[in-house]
Amino acid sequence: MKVKFWGTRGSLPTPGKETVRYGGNTPCVEVRLHKNNLVVFDAGTGIRGLGDELMATGESIKAFLAISHPHWDHIHGFPFFKPLYISGNEFTIIGAQTRNLRLRQMISDQMNKVYFPIQLNELKAKIRFHPVREETIPIFEATLSSIYVNHPAFALGYRLNVGGKSLVYISDNEPFDREVARSVKNVDKNIVEKYLAVKGDPNQRIFDFARGADILIHDTTYTPEEYVNHVGWGHSHYLFSLKIADEAGVKRLVLFHHEQSHNDDKVDEILSKCLGEIRNRNYRFECLAAAEGMELEW
Ligand SMILES: [Zn+2]
């Protein structure tokens, strides 16, 4: 498996000289399976660069696009993904939906002519929608599992397994706390029920989902100090990312969804604090911070 990061920033694109090293585009991660089959996680603004690279090959594309959730930063780049405008290309879009808001509608609503000049039904590629809940589906030679994470409204984390290798992508997720869940009430109540039903630490759901992964890409928006003022906003601080990686026994943790106000030096500082914690606590995994253009292979 190969992974390439096209967008690593959370919430809002942050172009400028202060963010050139880690990047200013919002979430988009390209995964290549053994036969070069393409799976993309999220359609943040980073997907535009991926689209341009794919167009340059001139080949027709058959790919899966797994959307974590329809907050702006995860779908904002979709209408700018040029392969969608080419007939002969085929995309299957995977994501969660609710009874009142279907997956197709979430994508088409942002392209409503009030917001965008081109409509979903004008795109030339063949686009299928495959709504999922917590389940495992086959895609190419791999399987893709999904889990509801703790994020306002609803959001999914994903796990790709292929030939004994695995990658977990959890772009937006907050430590689940029973007291906060009872008072904040901004997460779909069926999802909250799933967490409340866990005996012991409700975050065990996430630890189990990420168990033994070769790579865990996880929301690391805040420092613990910043998190105190953002409880209920749906994001993690780095100590929680480290805890998941340790509890799940993953091999590599990739810090992701960098806070929009953090410049490159701040991300460096967070990474170096993580490496310090890993040494102090004798954790056994590698840790790196996602950067636009970074590629990993394993
Ligand atoms: Zn996000």
CA of 147 to the centre of ligand 1 (A): 16
58: alpha, beta or left? (left if phi > 0; alpha if psi -120 to 50): left
How far does the centroid of ligand 1 lie from the alpha carbon of residue 188, in Å? 17
Rounded distance from Cα 113 to ligand 1 centre (Å): 24
How much is the average pLDDT of 210-214? 98
Ligand 1 centroid–CA 235 distance in Å is: 8
Residues 25 and 97: their CA atoms lie apart, in Å, by 25
Q: Could you tell me the distance, in angstroms and rounded to a whole number, from the CA of residue 197 to the centre of ligand 1? A: 26
Q: Is the pLDDT of residue 151 over 90?
A: yes
The confidence score (pLDDT) of residue 238 equals: 98
Phi, psi of 209 (to 5 degrees): -65, -40
Task: Give the pLDDT of residue 257.
Answer: 98
Q: What is the pLDDT of residue 35?
A: 86
- Averaged pLDDT, 264-277: 98
Query: pLDDT tens-digit profile of 216-260?
Result: 999 999 999 999 999 999 999 999 999 999 999 999 999 999 999
Q: Both ends of the chain: CA-CA distance in Å?
A: 6
**Per-residue three-class SS string for 87-153:** CCCEEEEEECCCCCCCHHHHHHHCCCCCCCCCCHHHCCCEEEEEECCCCEEEECCEEEEEEECCCCE
Class of domain 2-297: alpha beta
Predicted pLDDT at 34: 84
Average pLDDT, the chain: 97
Query: What pLDDT does residue 162 have?
Result: 95
pLDDT tens, residue by residue, 6-51: 999 999 999 999 999 999 999 999 999 988 999 999 999 999 999 9
**Is pLDDT of 152 > 90?**
yes
- In 24-111, at which residue ranges do the beta strands (DSSP E only) sit? 28-32, 38-41, 62-66, 90-95
Tell how far the Cα of 58 is from the centroid of ligand 1, in angstroms. 31
Mean pLDDT of 57-85: 97
Kindly give the distance from the C-alpha atom of residue 107 to the centroid of ligand 1, in angstroms, as a whole number. Answer: 16
User: What is the distance in A from the centroid of ligand 1 to the CA of 11?
Assistant: 5
Give residue 21 CA to ligand 1 midpoint distance, Å.
Answer: 20
* Residue 64 reports pLDDT greater than 90: yes
| 291 phi, psi to nearest 5 deg | -130, 140
